[in-house]
Structure 1
Amino acid sequence: MAKILVVDDEADLETLIKQKFRKKIREKEYEFLFAINGRDALEKLDEDPEVDIVLSDINMPEMDGLTLLTKLNELSPLIKSVIVSAYGDMDNIRTAMNRGAFDFITKPINFEDLTLTMEKTLKHAREIKETLQAIKENNILKMYVDENVLNFMCNREYESKIMANESIEGTVMFVDVCGFTKISETTSPDVVVTMLNTYFDAMVKEIMEHNGIIDKFIGDAVMAVFRGEYHLDRAIDAALAIRNQVNGFPNIADKENFKPKVSIGIKSGEMISGNIGSATLKRLDYTVIGDTVNTAARLQDAAKENQIIICENCYEKVKEAFKCENLGSITMKNKTKPLTVYNVLE
């Protein structure tokens, strides 16, 4: 709905505007606000900054329309103005345009002309706001997305590539900060978020250092995917580095009993890679799904503080490169047989 502020000291103009635009008002296409002079208009704008355009007379007591134009440019350059005045001489028109008026209509008002002018002005005002919003979103996007990803998105092959679904071979790793949910219940939100982001940042650096991909953050856990040569070895190297990093963090101030620890689950195998989510909500997540992912999550859930848990088939692939201890068998949901699991020591 467009918000339009009408500034005029003629009392009958408000009634006339409401009559002429009653259909659009009833259908909630237009909402009109009214002010009796420039000073009153500035107060109205202060109360409701969502006004899109201003229709203003020139000759008014206390503050005239030309002065209002100057004030409007200082207050909000996004608000577009149309002067509606009986003083349609060239001097007034030029002064109004030089002070930022978008258009000029002379009285007596031709309402067909006024309607077209309002629609044109509203369209221009919306385009400016949309452009600024796009710039803002683009700047925010640059804060969160790697430059190489942005360049890839600009490629015309981006859409077909990003929508491709495929079966891949890789390794999934889940890293959870142990006991963090409990500490978050007794610590201020600012401290909790800052602390968790510090832990996440350390994890992300190690994952990226070992050519892993951050799939998502889930509460106080991180899900990462490793593909390519030696993906399982790289995932375990990253897990060991993360454990060492987090163990080096100090206790939380005023929480001497809490020292950060991680529990990690790793599973290697085949998984489905694709764009998962809701097209209706326009929220799609390029992620991996399947038994390999589910097993990695459950291995992490079974892991205790400082443990990096892998299953037997992963152990057989890396036993010559990493020192592991056999933890026995665990029963896992949707698995008919217990799984033998190992803790990676070094």
Structure 2
Amino acid sequence: MTALILVVDDEPDLEPLVLQKFRRQIRDCAVSFIFARDGVEALDLIAANSDIEMVVTDINMPRMDGLSLLAKLQDAEERLSTIIVSAYGDMANIRTAMNRGAFDFLMKPIDFADLETTIAKTLRHIALLREARGKQMAAERAHASLSRYFSPNLAERLAGDAGELAGQRREVASLFTDIAGFTVLAEALDPAVLGELLNQYVAGMTDIVFHHEGTVAKIVGDALHVLFGAPGEQPDHAARAVACALDLDDFSEVFRAGWRARDVALGPTRIGVHSGPAIVGNFGGARFFDYTAYGDTINIAARLEAANKQLGTRICVSESVARQVANFRGRPVGDLVLRGRTESLRAFEPLRPEQCDELATKDYLAAFAKLEAGDPSAVTSFAAEVGRRAEDQLASFHLKRLLNGATGPRINMD
């Protein structure tokens, strides 16, 4: 690449001398020169030639001197590296020039060997600046991209360290969300209304995820897949996932009520959470960024989310999650045999501390204890609970099971 250099000097003999002394570099396309007689002409040339790399300017010139030109160059958005040329002994002007941002200076009469060395040094400096700017821009682009997936502080760290995105086996908590009946609803909505709804919903949900420092691994329409414990280690990943699930549920219920007031029958958001080992990393190949996770842990979390539909719950978390959360509070759902599995998995509906003290929770726990013990009076207890609180869909689910001849807490999810 040829470096274009602007030489600003009112001496007419300087131009042929420069072209003669640099003829080899010009022939090899290493450098090329354009010339101006004063600062005013120099600014016009700079405006017309955006590829000028650097400026070599005398100080004493008509119309606009070199110091005034230097001040203009330093005020510009793209500062050009500038070499100041001054008469021997004019140290006051040289000091002023360096204070105003000049990169280097030369004495008159010009020693062309010194000029060649100084130009080469300045061009190396410019190349280093360009490389640094390129790295900064790449980091900013990476940060902008990563901010869509990670909490801001984590995105900032990852933007400078792509090694953290390589495939790794980690202990994670995987969280899935999905809006019930959204596909049918979307087909009936005006596209502008659908766009507004989805944008508001996803923005609100991801804000909550980022607040808990989770990673949004994937967004597909209204559905989110969130990871805790990756890419950075989070010893409390299970607790973060449960707290996040409760906040997501609160937000989605308020959001749903707001849209129902606009005659849009938005369904509840269902959430599933499971923890365990998974392979996590960027698996998008060379062209795409796709930070995601694979493994049985991820599949179970997705199936727990789907299980909410049959159970009548909105949040379903596995026992492996509950065991890792200090003072976990929740209602036992049952021992679920998820689709494609033969072993059962104890699941819970997490609750906030104040909900645990409610009479409804205590009644449910008493009824579930009878169910686990094989006590026939569990039917009566769940019937009483449903009679008092018809909106308790989980209690209704167990009552229907028992009335249809089921026993115990083992539930086959079909």
Measured against the shorter chain, the TM-score band is 0.5 to 0.7
Instruction: State the match for 2:98 in structure 1.
Output: 97
Matched, 1:146 2:153: yes
Matched, 1:293 2:298: yes
Q: Aligned equivalents of 1:78 and 1:256: distance in 2?
A: 54
Provide, for residues 313-337 of structure 1, a one-character-per-residue CA deviation record: whole Å limited to 9, x for no partner. Answer: 46740269793859xxxxxxxxxxx
The residue type paired with residue 256 of structure 1 is R
Q: CA deviation at 1:36?
A: 4.1
Instruction: State the match for 2:245 in structure 1.
Output: 239
Q: Aligned equivalents of 1:112 and 1:260: distance in 2?
A: 77
The residue type paired with residue 168 of structure 2 is N
Q: Is the 2:167–2:282 contact (alpha carbons within 8 Å) kept by the matching residues of 1? A: no
Q: Aligned equivalents of 1:49 and 1:284: distance in 2?
A: 38
**Secondary structure of 1:101's partner?**
coil
Question: Structure 2: which 5+ runs fail to align?
Answer: 230-234, 319-335, 339-343, 352-393, 399-410
Q: Evaluate the alpha carbon distance shift between residue 52 and residue 259 of structure 1 in structure 2; reply closer, same or farther with a 3 A threshold.
A: farther
The residue type paired with residue 54 of structure 2 is I
Instruction: State the match for 2:80 in structure 1.
Output: 79
Q: Aligned equivalents of 1:295 and 1:120: distance in 2?
A: 61
The residue type paired with residue 146 of structure 1 is N
Which structure has the greater CA radius of gyration? 2
Q: Aligned equivalents of 1:321 and 1:191: distance in 2?
A: 27
Q: Aligned equivalents of 2:186 and 2:37: distance in 1?
A: 58
Richer in strand (by share):
1
Q: Aligned equivalents of 2:112 and 2:25: distance in 1?
A: 9
Percent identical pairs in the alignment equals: 26
- Under a length normalisation based on structure 2, what TM-score does the superposition of the two structures give? 0.53
Q: Evaluate the alpha carbon distance shift between residue 267 and residue 319 of structure 1 in structure 2; reply closer, same or farther with a 3 A threshold.
A: closer
Question: Structure 1: which 5+ runs fail to align?
Answer: 327-338
Q: Evaluate the alpha carbon distance shift between residue 117 and residue 260 of structure 1 in structure 2; reply closer, same or farther with a 3 A threshold.
A: farther
Q: Aligned equivalents of 1:193 and 1:12: distance in 2?
A: 63
Instruction: State the match for 1:173 in structure 2.
Output: 175
Q: Which stretch shows the higher mean deviation, 2-11 or 36-45? A: 2-11
Q: Evaluate the alpha carbon distance shift between residue 259 and residue 106 of structure 1 in structure 2; reply closer, same or farther with a 3 A threshold.
A: farther
Q: Aligned equivalents of 1:129 and 1:81: distance in 2?
A: 16
Q: Is the 1:56–1:65 contact (alpha carbons within 8 Å) kept by the matching residues of 2? A: yes
The residue type paired with residue 41 of structure 1 is A
Q: Is the 1:37–1:62 contact (alpha carbons within 8 Å) kept by the matching residues of 2? A: yes
Q: Is the 1:264–1:308 contact (alpha carbons within 8 Å) kept by the matching residues of 2? A: yes
Q: CA RMSD in A?
A: 5.5
The residue type paired with residue 22 of structure 1 is I
Instruction: State the match for 1:13 in structure 2.
Output: 15
Matched, 1:196 2:199: no
Q: CA deviation at 1:104?
A: 2.2
- Under a length normalisation based on structure 1, what TM-score does the superposition of the two structures give? 0.61
1:2-151 maps to which residues of 2 (within 5 A)? 4-9=5-10, 10=12, 13=15, 16=19, 19-23=23-27, 25=29, 34-46=35-47, 51-75=52-76, 78-84=79-85, 87-91=87-91, 92-106=93-107, 109-125=110-126, 127=128, 145-146=152-153
How many residue pairs get matched?
A: 312
Q: Is the 1:309–1:341 contact (alpha carbons within 8 Å) kept by the matching residues of 2? A: no
Q: Is the 1:166–1:274 contact (alpha carbons within 8 Å) kept by the matching residues of 2? A: yes
Q: Evaluate the alpha carbon distance shift between residue 39 and residue 192 of structure 1 in structure 2; reply closer, same or farther with a 3 A threshold.
A: farther
